[in-house]
C-alpha cells in the first residue's frame, strides 16, 4: 500500500519562495524524474502563511527516504527558495473510504 508524505518547509518570504520555484523549473523537473524512479506517484506544492508544503504519494516510506536523504538537488532548490532549517515530515497511511477520489 502506498503512503502519503507531507513536508512543511519554513520560509521567511512565501512570495519569493514561489518565484524561486518558477525560476528553478528545469531543476524541479529533474527532481521529479528522480522521485518517480524511487516510487513517487503524485507530487504537489502548496503554500500557507509560513512556508511551502509538499504533498506526495509514494509506493513506500522507504522509497521516499532513499530519494530524499542527502539529495543535493533538493538541497539546492530549497536553499534557493529560502527554506529555513529542515522540513517537518509526516508519513501517513491512506485510508480507503467511500467518497474518496
Per-residue pLDDT tens for 55-98?
A: 999 999 999 999 999 899 999 999 999 999 999 999 999 999 99
Query: Which residue segment(s) compose the domain that 27 sits in?
Result: 3-92
Residue 30's pLDDT is what? 98
Residue 73's pLDDT is what? 98
Q: Encode the chain in three state secondary structure.
A: CCEEEEEEEEECCHHHHHHHHHHCHHHHHHHHHHHHHCCEEEEEEEEECCEEEEEEEECCHHHHHHHHCCCHHHHHHHHHCCECCCCEEEEECCCCCCCCC
Residue 45's pLDDT is what? 98
Domain count, the chain: 1
- Kindly report the CATH number assigned to the domain that includes residue 65: 3.30.70.100
Question: Mean pLDDT for the chain?
Answer: 97
100 domain residue, yes or no: no
Amino acid at each position: 500500500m502506498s503512503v502519503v508524505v507531507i513536508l512543511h518547509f519554513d520560509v521567511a518570504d512565501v512570495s519569493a519562495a514561489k518565484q524561486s520555484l518558477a525560476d528553478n523549473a528545469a531543476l524541479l523537473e529533474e527532481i521529479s524524474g528522480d522521485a518517480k524512479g524511487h516510487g513517487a506517484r503524485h507530487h504537489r506544492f502548496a503554500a500557507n502563511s509560513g512556508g511551502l508544503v509538499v504533498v506526495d504519494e509514494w509506493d513506500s516510506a522507504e522509497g521516499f527516504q532513499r530519494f530524499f536523504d542527502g539529495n543535493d538537488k533538493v538541497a539546492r532548490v530549497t536553499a534557493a527558495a529560502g527554506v529555513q532549517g529542515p522540513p517537518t515530515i509526516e508519513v501517513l497511511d491512506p485510508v480507503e473510504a467511500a467518497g474518496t477520489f
